[in-house]
Amino acid sequence: MSAARQEIAVADTAQVPAAHPAEGAAVLSIIERMARDPNIDPDRVERFLVMAREDRAERARIAFNAAMSACQAELPRVLRDARNTHSGAAYARLESIAKATAPIIARHGFSLSFDTEPSPIQGNLRVTCTCAHEAGHERAYHLDLPPDTAGAQGKANKTPIQGIGSTITYARRYLVLQVFNIALTNDPHDTDGVPAGGNDDVISDEQAEQIRKQLTEHKIPPDRLLRFFGVESVPDLPANRFDEVLASIKTTVANRARQQEGR
């Protein structure tokens, strides 16, 4: 299955920090002269062409990293301005994320495009995101998620097509947040000019991975845990309740063991 590629940020072509167009023409001119010279080994022309490509790619990569650093320094925290009707968890809508961040992302020469492809995980959909920079470098990201056809109680609340659309929207939200390290906040007064990297409200990536491993190891569905803590996903769990989350998982495991022993 494939969804139409969608641009959420269009690069401003007024600023081009990488190679000037004239540079490419100059390289081609050198290659043409070398190719016409019968005294020059063709292998040498090929090696020169490879070196030129590698040099251009490296400078594009450096420009990408520099622009990403500058962009992240400007991005504000985005307000969680909506609430999941099934779980009660607050989240930031895709439209709100784009409105708060797209102009800054575009100003630094980035564009994002999305697509779908088969997932190696049975029953899941892979949503891909390509982050491209005007200098010529790009990076690929993806999320594998099941179709969102059921609510918090496990009851079907969407048609299969609606579930796929919901999954794609969910994935796009979190891919944008992931690519640019955008932080979320529940405070309407905490969104103006605060760098995304300074958010201490939610758990770290390492803590999120630790929780995921615990849930997977003990075969605990995350829905009840997320509803209890009032969040939409594991990365949204409050940092100051990390120990409480681990304790809750431990209690669930212990209760399950006692129930099995009592059978």
DSSP letter assigned to residue 131: E
Cβ–Cβ < 8 Å for 176, 184: no
Q: Hey, is 116 helix, strand or coil? A: strand
**Quick one: tokens of 125?**
């959909």
Q: 2-6, 187-191, 206-210: which has the minimum mean pLDDT? A: 2-6
How many whole angstroms separate alpha carbon 183 and alpha carbon 248?
Answer: 25
- For the chain, give the number of residues: 263
Largest Cα–Cα distance of the chain, in whole Å? Answer: 89
Burial call 66-87: b when 16+ CB within 10 Å, e when fewer: ebbeebbeebbbbbbbeebeeb
The reported pLDDT for the residue numbered 75 is 93
Q: What is the mean pLDDT of residues 76-101?
A: 84
Q: What is the mean pLDDT of residues 177-193?
A: 79
Helix (H, G, I), strand (E, B) or coil at 112: strand
- Find the helix or strand (DSSP H, E) in which 113 lies: strand 110-118
- pLDDT reported for residue 6: 36
Instruction: Look at residue 191 and tell me whether its pLDDT is greater than 70.
Output: no
Give 99-126 pLDDT, tens digit per residue. Answer: 999 999 999 999 999 999 999 988 888 9
Query: In this structure, what DSSP letter does residue 186 have?
Result: S
End-to-end CA distance of the chain: 46
pLDDT value for 85:
67
Cβ neighbours around 249 below 10 Å, total: 17
Sign of torsion over alpha carbons 95, 162, 132, 31? negative
Q: What confidence tens digit (pLDDT) does each residue in 117-152 have? A: 999 988 888 999 999 999 999 999 999 988 876 655
Q: Determine phi and psi for 182, rounding to 5 degrees.
A: -85, 130
Provide the whole-model pTM. Answer: 0.59
Q: Is the pLDDT of residue 21 over 80?
A: no
CA 246 distance to own-chain centroid: 25
pLDDT tens track for 64-75? 999 999 999 999
Among 151-155, 162-166, 175-179, the least confident range = 151-155
136: tokens are 């010529």
Task: Report whether pLDDT(190) > 70.
Answer: no
Predicted confidence at residue 63, as pLDDT, reads 94
